[in-house]
Structure 1
C-alpha cells in the first residue's frame, strides 16, 4: 500500500439521509467499539457483517480498502472493527448535514484536542466550534473534504503522531492547497483535525472558498497528494531499507556509475531498420504539405502519430532501452510514495517528460529535407540523424535519472542524516556522508541544445 493515503470528495448538497443514518449507526454500535482485552480473533458478529454489507453497498470502492482485504482473509472481530473504523473515517463527509461533519471532525473519539476541541486552521486564533459549524453549514459554494493518512509505523518514525505536526504540515502547503482548488490564497478557508487512530493516524481537512469560487480536478488532487507526500517524506531515506540490495546499491550510485556507463555506451553508429527509413520518408512527405509551426504540439494528429512511431522505433536501441528501464525503476520508487497500486511504465513515445525529443526529430527531418530537396531521403542520411537523436535522448533520460535519484536520496537535513548514517552502520551498510546538491533539480526542468 502507499506510504500516504489521500482521499478527496466534495459536498454540494447535504448527503442522503440513508448514508447519514448508516454512519451515525456505525459510530455508536459494537462494530466500532475498541476491544478492551487485546486483540479479539473470535469470528465477526452478525451485526458487524451486516454493517459491512451495507457499507460495501453504499460505497463500492470500499472493496479496495486494505482493511477489507484483511477482513476477507480472516473474518474476525478485530478485522471487522478495523474495516468499519476505516470506512467511517473515509466517509465522514456523508454524515447527515455539513454542520454535523464539523462537529464530527472536532469531537470524535480519538481526535487530539487543542483546548476544548480538535479543530485548527491557518492562525492560532481561538476557534469557536459552534460558529465554524454554522458558517460551514450555511456556505453557498462547494466544500471539499480530504482525509490524509499514514501507517502507524510511518507516523511514529516521522513525527506525525500529534496534531501540531499535521497543523504545521498543512500550513506549509497552504499555497499548494489554494492552487489545487483554483482558489486565491486570500479567499481560502480551511479547517483540520487530527485523529490518532490505532493503525492509520490521519487528518481530516475541510477546504472551501469564502466567496464560493473554486473547483478541484483530478490533477489538483494529484498535486496535493504529491505536495504532502514530498513534504512528509523529504527527510526520510526510506527506500534504502526496503529495496532489494542490488537495486538499492545500484540506485545509490546511479548518478555517477550506472547512468554514466549506459550513456557512454550509446553507439555513434546505431542500427537503423528499414522501418525507420520508411518512417523518416513518410514524415518528410507529410511535412511538405504542412504549413503550420514546426513544433510537435501544433501538428495534426496524423503527423503526430508518425513522430510517435519514430520515437517508438528509436526506443528499441538496446542501450537506450536499458537506460530507459533504469529511469522507470527510479520513477516507480517515486510513485510508490503516493499510489496504492503500482503504475504501469510509460512507453517512451508517450512520456511527456521527454516530449522535447519530438521537436528534435522534426528539426532533423527539416534539415534533411533542405539538404536533399529533389531526392528521396536515403538510409545513410537517416542513420546520421538517428545517431544524433539517440544521443540527445539518452542525455535527457540520464539527466532525468540523476534528478529523480537525487530527489529520492538527497533531500536529507544534517541532523536526521546523521541518525540514518548510524542506522546504516548498525545494519552493516555502507555510509554516504555527502550529497551532491548540484544534482537536485526540478523534475519539470527540461531542455537541450539543438546542434546539427
Structure 2
C-alpha cells in the first residue's frame, strides 16, 4: 500500500467524444461537491496556462474550452489525481486550499518531466477536493506544443511519478525513518526505491485499517471514478428519510396499472409529482444548483437571439419547466420499478429502509442527469456563440444575422 496514490490516464484525441469529455471533466473537478471553491466564485479551478504565478481562473469554462480545442487539435490531455490519507496530509501541513495549491506548484514539474513535457510548454489546471478520509487533488495537464499524438502511456510512467512524488514529499520523514532503522549514513542524499518500499511498509504498519480504506477507495479506481463521490457528500440522511416517506405516499397515490409518463398523468397526479419535485429541489441544494446552472446556460443561448426582457423571462420559465419535467419522469421511472417489484413479490415491499435506498439512488441518478444536461447546455452555448461572435464572419454579417434572428423567437 502506498503512502501516496497517483493516478493518470488520457482519452485518445481521435476518439469521437474526447473533446466533449475533457470539457465536462474539467467542469466536474471544478464544481462537484467536495471541491474547495474560490471566494466569491462558483468553482475551485486554478493553474497555469503559461509560466508564471498560479492563476485563479475567473470561470472553469475558459479552461474547459481550451481543453476541448487542444483535444480537437490532436493533443493529449492528461487527467491525474494525487491522494493522501487525512492524517498524512495534516502531518505534511496540507490542511487547507492554499497549502495544496503550493504543493502542486512545487511538484507539477515531476508530472511534466516523466511525460516528456518541457516546462515552458506545460499547461495545467487543478482542483482540490477536501473529502473525508481522503483529501485529493485532480490535475489536468497537456503540452501546448505537442506535435505527435500519443496512443498509449506505459503504466510504469505514473508509477515512476508516484515514487518520485513520495521521495520528494516525504524526504524528511524517510530520512528520519532511515536513521531510526540504522539504514542511513550521515549525510545521506539518495533515497532508493528499496528504502522507499521499506518506508511505505512502515507507514502502513502505523495504521493498517486506514491504509486499507484508502486503497479500497483509490488504488483500484481511475481518476474518473473518483468523481462518483461518497453518498454522504451528495445526500443528507435526514432529508433522505423525509423524501423516502414522500416517495411512499406518492407511490400509493399513483395508478398501479398503465404507463407512468408525466405527460399522460391526470392533473391531480401531476400535481402530486410536482410537489415531490419541489421537495427534492428544496432538500438537495446541489440538485437545485444543477437545475439553475442548466437554466442559466440555456438562457445564454437565448440571449444570442434576443435581448427582450419579457422574452427572456418567458424562456427562463420554459427551461425551468423542462428541467423539472426531466426530474419528474425520472421519479416516475423509480415508482414504476417499485410497482414492478411489488407485483413480483408475495409480500408488498413497504419497508421504510428500502424506500430510503430507492430514494438515495434516485437522487444520485438525478444529479448525474442534471450534471450532464448543464454541461451540455454550456457546450451548446459555446458552439453557437463561436458561430455568432467568432469565426470568419464580418461585423456587418454578424449584425445582420442577429437582426434576422431577433424576430424569429429564441427557441432554437
- What TM-score, normalized by structure 1, do the two folds share? 0.36
Larger helix proportion of the pair: 2
- What TM-score, normalized by structure 2, do the two folds share? 0.40
Q: Which one has a bigger Cα radius of gyration?
A: 1
